[in-house]
Structure 1
Amino acid sequence: MAQQVKRAFRYRFYPTDEQAAELSRTFGCVRFVYNTALEERTRAWYGEQRRISYVESSAALTEWKKTEELAFLTEVSSVPLQQVLRHLQTAFGNFFARRAKYPRFKSRKKSRASAEYTRSAFKWRDGKLTLAKMAEALDIRWSRPLPEGAEPSTVTVSRDSAGRWFASLLVEDVIAPAPATNAVVGLDAGITSLVTLSTGEKIANPKHERRDRTRLARAQRELSRKVKGSENREKARRKVARVHARITDRRRDFLHKLTTRLVRENQTVVIEDLTVRNLLKNGRLARAISEASWTELRTMLEYKCAWYGRELVVIDRFFPSSKLCGNCGAVREKLPLNLREWTCDNCGVVHDRDANAARNILAAGLAASACGDGVRPQRESSRTGRSSVKQETQRATAGIPRRQAGEEANAAPDRRTGEGVRAV
């Protein structure tokens, strides 16, 4: 059954000098309002142990506009300023719910320059978008059409570090589920092979950052030789940013194509719950792990499976997928990263490390899914214990002596320090 979802379509546009100046002023005012409101909330909390609500911040914004030194806030649209207060309220809500850290101040150089316009602050007519305080429509490059009959409810305008302008249009879209299939697949994430499927197929890691590493190093050397604050340094900085943007765009495009293919071809996709933040503590593999973008891969699989009526199963992070023999169920005591093939001491079967791990992941995911319990681990820390996938992990190692199984359970957390990462 088709479902209606909110979907964002991002397009690049080329503003005129007047539009660029207006948007730059808006970005500056948005950043100023956010930082000022955050400062007021912080002072009230630590000084008076009092929380400030969105209504109070909105009333304070009205008073700020009446002062002579902050009169410049009236020169831009009021909608982006109100929206950034709502974003700050959401940030504090996440903080008090222990879903995020304390909100941080926005930096002029490091933070993303953006402004959000709701329906009352822009005009959408005949496929042309005109923002508040502007006389002309934006010159948007329509790289793909919007859904037929869709009208944007929110428009977010942003400028990246490379100087490119983007407009993100949020619309209501109807997505039909993909045709049903009986295919299931398990995924083992790695570095040399970005993904190894339970079918034995290995999808190579394109390593976009490594391919552009020479170009990036040259641009960074040129930047380091420029005088701080000069125009030449700003040009060199944008050159470095363009190289980074090229790497990011190519990586995201590859991940979109890969995840779309996996979701369309399989009814059930099984992955493992990797803690990338802890894996990045491995100094030798941190750069390669960052380039692999496992977190972005999982995020794409999550929302695409939800869109197209597929099932995504996430097994426990401590499941010994690489050390477990898929033939007899024996668990190997140690498995160094440089050992890509290993022979089971119990049954003598020779295993490819990644393919065996992918098959074990699939078996554990299907077994856990058959229990009928929630098998997807929560992203937040759970106070109630382990998920049902952990119970299926115990079933997968049935028949192993307790001592050996206990040693494996104690050794499993090594995945957080990098032992569970595929070799480069």
Structure 2
Amino acid sequence: MKARYQYRIYPTDQQRKDLARLFGCVRVLWNDALVLCKQCEKLPSNGDLQKICITQAKKTKEREWLSEVSNIPLQQSIADWGVAWSNFFTSIKGKRKGKKVNPPRFKKRTNRQSARFRKGGFSIKGDKVFLAKIGYIKTVWSRPLPSEPSSVTVIKDTAGRYFLSFVVEVQPENKPALNTAVGIDLGIKVFAALSTGERVSSPSYSKLDRKIRRSQRKLSRRSKTSKRRERMRLRVAKLKAKVRDTRKDFLHKLSTKVVNENQVITLEDLNVSGLLKNRKLSRTISQAGWREFRTLCEAKSGKYGREFVVISRWEPTSQVCSDCGYRWGKLDLKVREIVCMNCGTLHDRDDNASKNIEQVGVGHTHDSKRTGRERKTSSEAAPLELSTQREYEQFRLFDW
């Protein structure tokens, strides 16, 4: 299986100028191909685009500066352009899983820049990486590469940082797991409630979020052509990059720990796009990174030989007692603890849901042991909800 390894690089001033020229050529070539595609009735092939946008364009005065950079990233830009259109067509035909893919768009100078080198355009010599017509770039090797890379992508993010992203071939590892299975219930205050009883809180982004909103208000008042606006734009980009790095570090560490310790990892298929319509919780939900955590767990499960299961979003994990299987109905979000009216067990909402997610993931469905209603959640669950709260208050006031 293939994996990506990313490293920070520190190019010199001259190399920064060369990389800026390379990024500009790749960006202009992408935009030229997109303009040509919109003018044609039929989508041209990658070979025809390379002849028109690269070979013939280099002979004109308007695009003669394309010959100043390596030809390999230019060819890879056309190849990536073809892949983007292929993904769009397979998506609208229903052959591609997941969310619908939009057609390729024009690239901007202020957005993230990248250029890809295949074999023949780069080499690794000692602690430095050689790129064609760029030179040897100082690289911070935070970890060794498991195998020889097949390609490398030079990236400049919106905060002005440079990275090298290698594509390598890795072999799956079969490590013994401590637990047979685990169910994970994702939330806001408590990011992950595990069926083992462990709770993981998400890092706080409130302080950085306030700084970002304050800086964005200042950015909106700057003149569009001024240098002050560019400095403020860079400041906002650095603050957002800090938030992304904090979230990415947290999700990577948590997903690695979960996959290493458990053989079967079970998550719930959350409707994140629907939850984002809640104006009071949309910012917090988007900052949590539920989808990214699911993607990391799925990828690392394949790497370490684990089984990754995603249960249906319609499973009543918060409406069923994890001990006796009694279904009490829908609960309001403010109800965090509940007493089962059948067995009298006091449950925490998140812990109970995580145990039910684990049971469904390993094959024990609720239908086989449920004693409540056989229908989905409806408004008829309101009387049960009120009676459940009364039982809980009596339980809390009883002198044990």
TM over 0.5: yes
**Residues 50 and 75, structure 2, Cα contact 8 Å, conserved in 1:** yes
Change (3 A) 1:110 1:188: farther
Runs of 4+ in 1 over 6 A off after TM superposition: none
Match of 2:137 in 1: 138
Change (3 A) 1:180 1:40: same
> Does residue 1:52 correspond to 2:44, yes or no?
yes
3-state secondary structure, aligned to 2:362: helix
> Does residue 1:223 correspond to 2:222, yes or no?
no
Q: Which runs of 5+ in 2 are unaligned?
A: 382-400
Using the TM superposition, give the Cα deviation of residue 144 of structure 1 relative to its aligned residue in structure 2, in angstroms: 2.3
Q: Select the residue among 391, 400, 404 that pairs with 2:372.
A: 400
* Equivalence map 1:304-319=2 (5 Å): 304-319=300-315
Aligned residue type for 1:91? A
Change (3 A) 1:75 1:58: same
**Residues 122 and 132, structure 1, Cα contact 8 Å, conserved in 2:** yes
Q: Select the residue among 192, 201, 204 that pairs with 2:198.
A: 201
> Does residue 1:80 correspond to 2:76, yes or no?
no
> Does residue 1:211 correspond to 2:207, yes or no?
yes
Deviations 1:72-126 (A, max 9, x none): 2222111111111111111111111113433232332453200001111123223
TM-score, normalised to structure 1, is 0.82
* Equivalence map 1:235-384=2 (5 Å): 235-367=231-363
**Residues 330 and 377, structure 2, Cα contact 8 Å, conserved in 1:** no
**Residues 322 and 356, structure 1, Cα contact 8 Å, conserved in 2:** yes
3-state secondary structure, aligned to 1:241: helix
> Does residue 1:124 correspond to 2:124, yes or no?
yes
Aligned residue type for 2:140? R
Aligned residue type for 1:326? S
Comparing 58-67 with 262-271, greater Cα deviation is found at 58-67
Match of 2:86 in 1: 93
Using the TM superposition, give the Cα deviation of residue 407 of structure 1 relative to its aligned residue in structure 2, in angstroms: 4.4
Aligned residue type for 2:51? A
Deviations 1:11-69 (A, max 9, x none): 1111122211111111111111112212222332xxx3x23222222222222222221
Change (3 A) 1:64 1:140: same
Structure-2 separation of matches of 1:294 and 1:362: 18
Change (3 A) 1:244 1:396: farther
Match of 1:372 in 2: none
**Residues 331 and 408, structure 1, Cα contact 8 Å, conserved in 2:** no
> Does residue 1:69 correspond to 2:62, yes or no?
yes
Structure-2 separation of matches of 1:182 and 1:225: 55
Task: State the identity %.
Answer: 43
TM-score, normalised to structure 2, is 0.87
> Does residue 1:187 correspond to 2:184, yes or no?
yes
3-state secondary structure, aligned to 2:136: coil
Match of 1:112 in 2: 112
Aligned residue type for 1:328? C
Structure-2 separation of matches of 1:88 and 1:119: 19
Q: Select the residue among 6, 22, 38 that pairs with 2:2.
A: 6
Match of 1:422 in 2: none
3-state secondary structure, aligned to 2:24: helix
Structure-2 separation of matches of 1:53 and 1:410: 59
Match of 1:178 in 2: 175
Structure-2 separation of matches of 1:106 and 1:112: 12
Match of 2:384 in 1: none
Match of 2:385 in 1: none
Deviations 1:396-422 (A, max 9, x none): 5644344xx2445999xxxxxxxxxxx
Match of 1:388 in 2: none
RMSD, matched Cα: 2.2
Using the TM superposition, give the Cα deviation of residue 195 of structure 1 relative to its aligned residue in structure 2, in angstroms: 0.1
Change (3 A) 1:66 1:102: farther
Q: Which runs of 5+ in 1 are unaligned?
A: 369-391, 412-424
Comparing 233-242 with 284-293, greater Cα deviation is found at 233-242
Using the TM superposition, give the Cα deviation of residue 230 of structure 1 relative to its aligned residue in structure 2, in angstroms: 1.6
Structure-1 separation of matches of 2:292 and 2:379: 28
Structure-1 separation of matches of 2:59 and 2:380: 63
Change (3 A) 1:264 1:102: closer
Using the TM superposition, give the Cα deviation of residue 172 of structure 1 relative to its aligned residue in structure 2, in angstroms: 2.8
3-state secondary structure, aligned to 2:103: coil
**Residues 331 and 397, structure 1, Cα contact 8 Å, conserved in 2:** no
**Residues 129 and 137, structure 1, Cα contact 8 Å, conserved in 2:** yes
Change (3 A) 1:329 1:108: same
